[in-house]
Chains A and B, each alone.
Chain A
């Protein structure tokens, strides 16, 4: 991505800005052909009014696997998500980006109802997975979670052997056939790119693996039960660049097989792996569109400021 200083862009700041986060190529001067408009986000927040997110037209052509409609969430008395409405296109990778505390992890955890584990959480609005209302009263949460695989920020392998870790979702479903478990274990580990490294020590404790290997093990575990959706909550933030690169490769390979929703605070990663990007800020969805558009032709000024590294 080549960026040039454009005379019609805003004046660059007088003080050399320190790069925000791991960005390096973002140019402080804004993007070429920038027709980003101010969104009026802060005024809306101050007035307490609803804020209308800018959804790009490219979204409308996609088949959604997850639909979020006017979704609100409170932690006790504090509201964390304000009227979020978006979709996750099926078979594609959607990234949620935004500064810390903007609610992207909260939104992610709502998809498989992990926020139910927190006592003080209250939810309003609708969320659908493949057309089925997730927050319906009669829904079996366990069944829902079996259709979704989740990978967390810090690798969390169980204190069991490597194979047992991978086939854990099958075991709790009641599968006991050794043949089936070994087959599924092998295929999951192959898909996660870990098979070659662990195939002769499947019985060893998973805790002996390195950080990157543990995270790939968690990915293998997440896909073992063949989920419809993969939720990745900053999967590479605790890993070194080489391990990060391997996991990004995996995400590329998974496109088409799984629908992936990934939360990342690393914008470069979002631009590398995702097809669609949603920018969130202060608990609200600000802009949502195809990744190229978000990064090169954002509609809103706040989005442009964020992706160019002005704040974050």
Chain B
């Protein structure tokens, strides 16, 4: 039957087909669910919801954390009861004052205040003013309701003093003294003099601090080392034995040398202090109380109402610099977080050094060498479940096993001389790194395993066919090819480890560490030292701080810093992975 034949003559089958088509009912509009449009909205909605939450979180932290160091204006507030306050506004809120709020006022003011509040519909607005001057007033902040305020102004020379202790000071300049003599009484001149002398005072102060910490610290370490050696001799050979006596002589000689050096440093410090003590700034508070501040006590002097935008910007950047590079003050509510950044980075690097080799080797064994069976499956399940264990459990394990058991044994074996004071038998950077390495091990193993199984078998076969052994194939072909995935796993582990706080609280993170884990004394890295950590710092600021109102903005700023740190790590991961991907472009991935 040719094709031409079929088309020209209507055969029986064609008519049947036409009839069937006519008889079939016309279908109504296709249901909306069948078309699938609601699914598009549903899935897009889910994505948008997640994105909103993430962006909302980021926006909150960026706005709150970023605005901490921005200097607002300073107000001089006169209350109806005659109190005068100088301070900067931090928060404000509306509230409905109860009857007892008015009882605190003087009787003649009560009626006027109630009338004032009633005119606003029973609502009053109160502001939290940071008034500082803690040693004079006993409080850092003060609430002021709007019905209490008589008048308010912005004096040009209302100054803000950031100082080494006691928190902030607010006042107006009274005089500038050198060697006890008043040299200037005009605010402008006082300001000039301050700028002139403060730089050298600051330089002398940091020199003094260097002498105090670094040099004294070095001498201390030496003396301590000698003392431990002496004690070891005592333990080994007994007191009054000839070896001990010889060592004792050496120790005495060393000590007297150290005493000389201490004396030298002390006199140097005293000289610097004397130089600095010459310069003083006298300020008067809003209440008229006068306070004499040595220039050495002052970290920064700000005249907020005299600042233009560029001035504020400069101040903002200067405060950020201090935040990133300086030590904390005032139980972490002021100053910088540099030791915390340093401690976080050191611990994270140590953790990575431990977890990556172990994880990669374990994954290599599981994927390349182990014969498939129920044991291997069990191990794999166990590793995956390890990722779900609460992190505090790791902390407890780390404390019990690493600190007490391993650390205790190390102390008993190598550091008997220092006992009962523990060296390794307590929390430190090493144990914290090992605990977190255990926590992030599943991440590395899973990522490495996936990277290894993504290496095409054809490549492995090609290597075997060339006469390579299994290890040669792994080293030359499989591992390099799997490197992008392994690096991804490593960065994921780093990011996770840098943010975990709960286990660290038990194994080595402290509120204020006496020294950094890495310093100039041999052996340069001190794995037994406790350290500061950004995550722990945030917890400490938020919950353990005395001056909680001042610490709150710092919480946000430190959180912002931690997030930025982790974002930087992740971006590094992406860049590294992209570079490695380019190298393997063309392979059937």
* B-binding residues in A (CB < 8 A): 112, 114, 117, 119, 142-143, 145-146, 148-150, 152, 154, 156-159, 168-169, 171-173, 205, 207-208, 218, 221-222, 225, 231
Contacts and interface: CB of A to CB of B under 8 A. Distances in A.
Given A207-B585, A207-B587, A114 B462 contact: no
The 8 closest A-B CB pairs, nearest first, are A207-B586, A146-B467, A150-B465, A145-B467, A156-B462, A156-B458, A169-B466, A172-B468
B59 to A, nearest CB: 43
Given A158-B477, A207-B585, A119 B372 contact: yes
B481 interface: yes
Interface residues of B, number: 24
A300 B162 CA distance: 103
A205 B583 contact: yes
Contact of B583 (A150, A159, A169): A159
Contacts of A112: 465
A152 B461 contact: yes
A156 B459 contact: yes
A119 B372 CA distance: 9
Most B CB contacts (10 A, CB to CB) among A142, A148, A154, A158 go to A158
Contact of B472 (A143, A148, A157, A172): A172
Interface in B444-495: 456, 458-459, 461-469, 472, 476-477, 480-481
Given A159-B583, A221-B462, A231-B465, 7 more contacts: A119-B372, A148-B465, A156-B459, A159-B584, A168-B476, A172-B476, A221-B466
A114 B461 CA distance: 8
A127 to B, nearest CB: 17
A303 to B, nearest CB: 30
Contact of B464 (A117, A154, A207, A225): A117
B371 interface: yes
A159 B466 contact: no
A117 B466 contact: no
A114 B460 CA distance: 11
B473 to A, nearest CB: 9
Contacts of A159: 459, 477, 480-481, 583-584, 587
B458 A152 contact: yes
Contacts of A145: 464-467
A152 B458 CA distance: 8
Nearest to B469: A142
A154 B458 CA distance: 8
Contact of B467 (A157, A169, A208): A169
Contacts of A231: 465
A117 B369 CA distance: 12
A146 B371 CA distance: 26
A112 B584 CA distance: 29
Residue of B459, B462, B465, B481 most packed against chain A (CB within 10 A): B465
A205 B583 CA distance: 8
Given A154-B458, A159-B480, A172-B476, A114 B583 contact: no
A149 B584 CA distance: 25
A158 B463 contact: yes
19 contacts: A114-B465, A119-B371, A149-B466, A150-B465, A152-B461, A156-B458, A156-B461, A158-B459, A158-B477, A159-B459, A159-B587, A168-B463, A169-B467, A171-B476, A172-B469, A205-B583, A205-B586, A225-B467, A231-B465
Contacts of B464: 114, 117, 145
Contacts of A152: 458, 461-462, 465
A287 to B, nearest CB: 29
A42 B476 CA distance: 48
B357 to A, nearest CB: 22
A162 to B, nearest CB: 13
Nearest to B459: A156
B546 to A, nearest CB: 59
> Which interface residue of A117, A148, A159, A208 has the most chain B CB atoms within 10 A?
A159
A142 B473 CA distance: 12
Contact of B456 (A146, A156, A173, A208): A156
A117 B351 CA distance: 37
Contacts of B469: 142, 172
Given A114-B461, A156-B459, A168 B587 contact: no
A173 B469 CA distance: 10
A196 B98 CA distance: 95
A225 B465 CA distance: 12
A171 B456 CA distance: 22
Nearest to A154: B458
A208 to B, nearest CB: 6
A168 B466 contact: yes
A168 B460 CA distance: 13
Interface string B356-388: 000000000000000110000000000000000
Contacts of A171: 476
A225 B466 contact: yes
A24 B344 CA distance: 72
Nearest to A157: B462
Contacts of A149: 465-466
B466 A208 contact: no
Nearest to B477: A158
A218 B477 CA distance: 15
A119 B466 CA distance: 20
Contacts of A146: 466-467
Which of A146, A156, A205, A222 is packed against the most chain B CB atoms within 10 Å?
A: A156
A205 B585 CA distance: 9
Contacts of A207: 584-587
Contacts of B465: 112, 114, 145, 148-150, 152, 222, 231
Contacts of A157: 462
A143 to B, nearest CB: 7
Contacts of A221: 462, 466
B461 A173 contact: no
A172 B462 contact: no
Nearest to B468: A172
Contact of A117 (B458, B461, B583): B461
Interface string B116-138: 00000000000000000000000
Nearest to B462: A156
A218 B463 CA distance: 11
A16 to B, nearest CB: 15
Given A159-B587, A208-B586, A173 B467 contact: yes
B467 to A, nearest CB: 3
A295 to B, nearest CB: 30
A142 B371 contact: no
B244 to A, nearest CB: 57
Given A119-B371, A143-B467, A158 B462 contact: yes
A154 B517 CA distance: 54
Contacts of B480: 159
Contacts of A172: 466-469, 472, 476
Nearest to A224: B466
Contacts of A156: 456, 458-459, 461-462
A173 B463 CA distance: 12
Contacts of B586: 205, 207-208
Contacts of B477: 158-159
Interface string B576-589: 00000001111100
B366 to A, nearest CB: 16
B356 to A, nearest CB: 21
B468 A218 contact: no
A231 B585 CA distance: 28
A220 to B, nearest CB: 12
Nearest to B371: A119
Nearest to B473: A172
Contacts of A225: 466-467
B1 to A, nearest CB: 15
A205 B466 CA distance: 19
B164 to A, nearest CB: 59
B138 to A, nearest CB: 70
A231 B461 CA distance: 13
A152 B462 CA distance: 8
